[in-house]
Amino acid sequence: MPELPEVETTRRGIEPYLLGQRVIRVLLRERRLRWPVPEDLDVRLSGQCIQAVKRRAKYLLIEAEVGTLICHLGMSGSLFLLPSGSPAAKHAHVDIELSSGQSLRYTDPRRFGALLWTLDPAQHPLLLKLGPEPLSDEFTGEHLYRLSRTRQTAIKPFIMDNLVVVGVGNIYASEALFAAKIDPRRAAGSISRARLLRLAEVIKQILQQAIACGGSSLRDFVGADGKPGYFQQELFVYGRGGLPCKVCGSLLRETRLAQRSSVWCAYCQR
CA angle, 142 then 258 then 2, to 5°: 80
Same domain, 106 and 192: no
Q: Domain range spanning residue 209?
A: 141-264
Write the DSSP symbol of residue 38. P
How many CB atoms are closer than 10 A to CB 164? 21
Q: Any binding-site annotation on 91?
A: yes
- The verdict on residue 96 lying in a domain is yes
Q: Structural domain tally of the chain?
A: 2
Q: State how far the alpha carbon of 107 is from the alpha carbons of 56, 79, 93, 185, 189, in Å.
A: 20, 7, 6, 37, 42
- The verdict on residue 110 lying in a domain is yes
Q: Any binding-site annotation on 151?
A: yes
pTM as predicted: 0.88
Phi and psi for 55 in degrees, rounded to 5?
-135, 135
For residue 33, the domain's CATH number is 3.20.190.10
Same domain, 117 and 164: no
**69-84: b (≥16 Cβ within 10 Å) or e:** bbbbbbbbbbbbbeeb
Q: Any binding-site annotation on 34?
A: no
pLDDT along the chain (270 residues), means of 10: 87 96 97 95 97 97 98 92 94 97 96 96 95 97 96 97 95 96 97 98 95 63 46 79 96 93 96
Same domain, 80 and 149: no
Which of the listed residues 93, 123, 153 is the one where a domain comes to its end?
Answer: 123
Catalytic amino acids?
2-3, 58, 260
For residue 217, the domain's CATH number is 1.10.8.50
